[in-house]
Amino acid sequence: MLPDFSRRADLTELMDEPCSREEMRACLRDLAKVNRLFLAYRPVLRWLDSLELAQAREPLRILDVGCGYGDGLRRIGRWADERGISARLTGCDLNPDTVAIAAEAGSKAGSSSRVEWVAADVFSLDGRGRTDVVVSSLFTHHLRESDIVRFLRWMEEHARVGWFINDLSRAAVPYWLFKWFAKAAGLHRFVQHDGPVSIARAFAAEDWRRMCGAAGLSEQDVTIEAFTPARLCVGRKKR
């Protein structure tokens, strides 16, 4: 059955099901390749630049929720180094295997000492101290709408400076283009299946306006912005 892009698809992704650590590692490596190729870090880095944080006296505490392979957080680490910003980075993911894989990849990249990797439900992190910035990439489309609203409220409560959601835009063209690309590139079978499914499970701007409203945020509180290719991002600055 062809997806109906007028509404969010009720589908499941293979990487959300039980699998071996080896299978997950191979999947996450290919996802990191896709992220690099399709400029997936650009929206987060541009938003971080807009915060004008270079003059901060204390280390900036950044939490990446649903950190996956950790490639996005490591790229944020390089962003901070390039700007002379002292940063304390934490990557959080619900899957312990994913966290172990991220730590392993970070160690090989020489960045393991600067990142704290945590296997936990984000809603259990209340007592972990101050957080300045919360980011997430390709995370929220895995959640039910009620949990996304809860996540928005959680970030609003815990992120002192602001938060940023980097996710996909639900549309037919990127769905079919990625489906073709993933097969032609011979990407991991999870990526070939889950990439198009992720796009079908993703959001339109009106979805985000509705969920932000349910979380108590007005349209003036947040920005909802599209990025090419196939990204729809939600940002909140508190200062």
Q: Does the predicted TM-score (pTM) go above 0.85?
A: yes
Residues contacting residue 180 through CB under 8 Å, at least 6 positions apart: none
At residue 168, φ and ψ (nearest 5 deg) are -95, 160
pLDDT by position in tens, the chain (length 239): 678 999 999 999 999 999 999 999 999 999 999 999 999 999 999 999 999 887 667 899 999 999 999 999 999 999 999 999 999 999 999 999 999 999 999 887 665 557 999 999 999 986 556 899 999 999 999 999 999 999 999 999 999 999 999 999 999 999 999 999 999 999 999 999 999 999 999 999 999 999 999 999 999 999 999 999 999 999 999 97
Q: DSSP state, 128?
A: S
Residue 115 pairs in a beta bridge with 89
Instruction: Enumerate residues 6+ apart whose C-beta is below 8 A from 150.
Output: 123
Structure tokens at 19: 């699998």
Which domains are delineated in the chain? 16-169+205-237 (3.40.50.150)
